[in-house]
Amino acid sequence: MKTNFDFMSKRVIAGRASGVLLFISIGAMVFNGLNWGLDFTGGSQVELGFTSEIDPEEVRGFLNESGFENGTVQYFGTNRELRITMLPQEGSDQSTLGDNIFSALQSQYSGVELRQSNYVGPAVGEELAEDGGLALLTALIVVMLYILFRFTKQFSVGAVAALGHDVIIVLGFFAVFQWTADLTVLAALLAVIGYSLNDTIVVSDRIRENFRKLRRGLPVEIINESLNQTLGRTLVTSTTTLFVLLALLFAGGEVIRGFAMALSIGVVVGTYSSMYIAASVLLAMNITREDLLVPEKADQENEEGTYP
């Protein structure tokens, strides 16, 4: 079914909406900060099972009274399972912190069972945070160079603007709602870059093709035509991907929840940005048909079919 939506007539509204989301996201990251997981902060994480329903606030209060302060206690799986995340404690052996927490809870709650205990040193956590940031930055730079050589500078700026927009908004959600940002979320951000890039390349390729093929029409009309031609493919890909991610989100368990949440948000935002952010940048940079024409020499060689 052929569609004829006037996407670009709403680009100002879309730009303002994106500006608001970016403002909220950056503000939340500056003032709230991200709720970094154990992978980045270092510390101990203990997973416990109880014989009956347990109140996390009650457990948190008992740990504070026992000298284990500034810990996070939350349900893990069911209301009889808890995950306790504890930052490094001064004056104690960090490698045995998880065992000490378990011993203290054993004296208070009968039948408590230790499911898992992990410890990450602060040096390792700091290194992971630095490497994760470098991985994101490297991905954006490589993407910009790839689009620059495959298309033009206008497309490369639009692609990187769209990818940066997606990453910041996903992180903004985690900052606003204080969801835990761990290594699985970092993996999801890199996956968001890959997904959004793939969508942007498909749209960009059709825009370039139409600029070369259509002899008449304003740039805004050609971009609208291109977006309508790729709309069906974009919606089918995004919807089927979301089905899988929502299944992981609701049935995959606590371990993979952060990954599924970040990638679900990223797919929605990435689909939107490939149509509005990347395409709007092209218009803002005054792209024309002449920018995308194949050099005459290359055209002539293709027509004559030159061979070595």
3-state secondary structure string across the chain: CCCCCCHHHHHHHHHHHHHHHHHHHHHHHHHCCCEECHHHHCEEEEEEECCCCCCHHHHHHHHHHCCCCCEEEEEECEEEEEEEEECCCCCCCHHHHHHHHHHHHHHHCCCCEEEEEEEECHHHHHHHHHHHHHHHHHHHHHHHHHHHHHCCHHHHHHHHHHHHHHHHHHHHHHHHHCCEECHHHHHHHHHHHHHHHHHHHHHHHHHHHHHHHCCCCCHHHHHHHHHHHHHHHHHHHHHHHHHHHHHHHHHCCCCCHHHHHHHHHHHHHHHHHHHCHHHHHHHHCCCCHHHHCCCHHHHHHHHHCCCC
Which of residues 182 and 289 earns the better pLDDT score?
182
- How far, in Å, CA of 277 to CA of 283, rounded? 10
Tens digits of residue pLDDT in 90-115: 666 667 788 888 888 888 888 889 88
Give the CATH architecture of domain 43-120.
2-Layer Sandwich (3.30)
Q: 113-122: buried (b, 16+ CB within 10 Å) or exposed (e) per residue?
A: ebeebebbee
Give the CATH architecture of domain 7-35+124-294.
Up-down Bundle (1.20)
pLDDT of residue 5 exceeding 50, the answer is: yes
Report the share of the chain in percent with pLDDT over 90: 23
At 138, give phi and psi (nearest 5°). -65, -40
Q: Are 7-35+124-294 and 43-120 in the same CATH fold?
A: no
- How far, in Å, CA of 207 to CA of 210, rounded? 5
Q: Count Cα neighbours of 218 within 13 Å in the Cβ-side half-sphere.
A: 6
Tens digits of residue pLDDT in 292-302: 665 554 444 54
Report the share of the chain in percent with pLDDT over 70: 90
CB 196 within 8 A of CB 160: no
Token readout for 174 is 């985690």
Tens digits of residue pLDDT in 262-296: 999 999 999 999 889 988 998 888 887 776 665 55
Q: Which are the contacts of 175, defined by CB distance < 8 A and separation ≥ 6?
A: 25, 28, 29, 32, 33, 34, 35
pLDDT of residue 135 exceeding 90, the answer is: no
pLDDT of residue 86: 83
- How far, in Å, CA of 34 to CA of 130, rounded? 15
Planar angle of CA 211, 153, 171, nearest 5 degrees:
110
- How far, in Å, CA of 78 to CA of 36, rounded? 23
pLDDT of residue 37: 80
Q: Count Cα neighbours of 239 within 13 Å in the Cβ-side half-sphere.
A: 6
Bridge partner list, 75: 82
Q: Where are the domains of the chain?
A: 7-35+124-294, 43-120
